[in-house]
Amino acid sequence: MRPIENEIKAVIIESLDLEDISIDDIETEEPLFGDGLGLDSIDALELGLALKKKFDIKLDSSSEESKKHFYSVSTLADFIEQQKGTA
Partner 1 sequence: MNTDNSLSLQLLSSYCWISEDSLNNCKYPESLLNYVDLEVISIKQIPPIKRRRLNGLSKMAMHTSLNCLESLKSNSDEVITVFASQHGELNRTISIISDIINSQDVSPKDFSLSVHNSSLGLFSIFNNNTQPGTSIAAGSNTFGFALLESYNLLKRFPNKKVLLTCFDLKVEPPFDSFLNRVEPSYSLSLLLSIDDNLAQHGYNISFSFQRSEVPLQASMPLPLAFLQFLHSNAPSEQLKSNNTYWEFAKNAL
Distances (CA, A) of 41 to 38, 45, 73, 82: 10, 7, 16, 24
Phi, psi of 33 (to 5 degrees): -110, 160
Smallest gap, in angstroms, from Cβ of residue 16 to partner 1?
7
Determine the Cα–Cα distance for residues 28 and 36; give it in Å rounded to an integer. Answer: 11
Q: Among 1-9, 10-18, 27-35, 79-87, which window interacts with partner 1 (CB under 8 A)?
A: 10-18
Q: Identify the helix (H) or strand (E) that includes residue 50.
A: helix 41-55
| Site residue total, partner 1 (CB under 8 A) | 14
Q: Select the residue interacting with partner 1 from 6, 28, 36, 46 (CB under 8 A).
A: 46
Query: Rule CB under 8 A: is residue 38 a binding residue for partner 1?
Result: yes
Query: Rule CB under 8 A: is residue 67 a binding residue for partner 1?
Result: no
Q: Select the residue interacting with partner 1 from 4, 7, 10, 21 (CB under 8 A).
A: 21
